[in-house]
Amino acid sequence: TDRYCVFGHPVGHSKSPAIHAAFAEQTGERIEYTAIEAPLDDFAGAWRAFVAEGGRGANVTVPFKEEAFRLCDTLSGRARRAGAVNTLILGGNGLTYGDTTDGVGLVRDLQGKGVALAGARVLVLGAGGAVRGVLEPLLAAQPASVRIANRTAARAEALAEDFRDLGTIRGGGFEAVEGPYDLVINGTSASLAGDLPPLPDGLFAAGATAHDMMYGAEPTVFLRWAAERGARPLDGLGMLVEQAAESFFQWRGKRPDTAPVLEMLRQAL
Ligand code: ATR
């Protein structure tokens, strides 16, 4: 049995063990997948110890994605762009390869739900690691434009600058936001505090989608606000399952069917 895990701190709340157990059962892969709380001051040591015990790969969550990035021997192009790694793979040569599947997960979730990305006017709220991690796959889907808006405008401007070779992308503060947008993605952690970024009315085009990377038993404040203004609300649970499916594919070469697993998680929220 090949061993995998998710590293985090804390990690007890992680849904990844349940997701990967479901994928394994569905695909007939014999794997063991556990949650490991790595010490805050020695993530690299935790990964080495896991490998020494037969670990073949891992997911990485808060707060270790940047540290995981630094310990990799080789990186996927999208991980290099993101500056973060959520998927570690032990190569046959003993080297550690790093990938990030969050952005693909977001794009697959949106596409699977019929959200057209090509030609779309996209607004992304936030300019932290969560947003940086999804920009390459998002831009690869060829939206008409991407605007990044952030509380700290300079961070959004710098982030847009880092990705300008990949498409039409600009950054600024919330006050500079102009509608309408076909897709608005909330990648801030404001929802955690129950906060809503200051956004103008008239933000959404007809038929627009609002996506929040967060999820919970109840819709986030952002999704409630968006739904009241006619946008279709989508929470981050689908993205969670899709990024997991892409990690599973990287490790096992099989693509699980995500729909029943998403349904299972939704029921359990
Ligand atoms: P993550 O890795 O989750 O992206 P982060 O790098 O700390 O975490 O980024 C958090 C993001 O949420 C940032 O864009 C932050 O805005 P600032 O760059 O101005 O700090 C945003 N954020 C956090 N709390 C917020 C709030 N209450 N209102 C608006 N934006 C908030």
Instruction: Kindly give, in sequence order, each residue whose CB lies less than 8 Å from that of residue 52, ignoring residues fewer than 6 positions away.
Output: none
- pLDDT of 196: 93
Binding site for shikimate: residue ranges?
14-16, 61, 86, 102, 215, 243
Q: Using an 8 Å Cβ cutoff, are 215 and 191 in contact?
A: no
Q: Strand 96-99 and strand 87-90: pairing? A: antiparallel
- pLDDT of 214: 95
ipTM above 0.90, yes or no: yes
The 10s digit of each residue's pLDDT in 54-76 is: 999 999 999 999 999 999 999 99
pLDDT > 70: percent of the chain: 100
- CATH number, domain at 19? 3.40.50.10860
- pLDDT of 191: 84
Give catalytic residues, as residue numbers.
65
Cβ 188 under 6 angstroms from ligand 1: yes
pTM of the model: 0.97
Determine the average pLDDT of the residues in 114-120.
98
Determine the average pLDDT of the residues in 115-142.
97
The 10s digit of each residue's pLDDT in 160-205 is: 999 999 999 999 999 989 889 999 999 999 988 889 999 998 999 9
Do 119 and 226 lie in a common domain? yes
The beta strand positions in 100-230, using DSSP E, are 121-125, 145-149, 169-172, 181-186, 204-212
Question: How many domains does one find in the chain?
Answer: 2
Cβ atoms within 10 Å, residue 223: 24
Determine the average pLDDT of the residues in 86-101.
97
Residue 196 Cα: closest atom of ligand 1: 28
Host domain of residue 162 = 103-235
- CATH number, domain at 166? 3.40.50.720
Select from 48, 20, 23, 45 the least CA-distant residue to 35. Answer: 20
Q: Using an 8 Å Cβ cutoff, are 99 and 76 in contact?
A: yes
Do 230 and 245 lie in a common domain? no
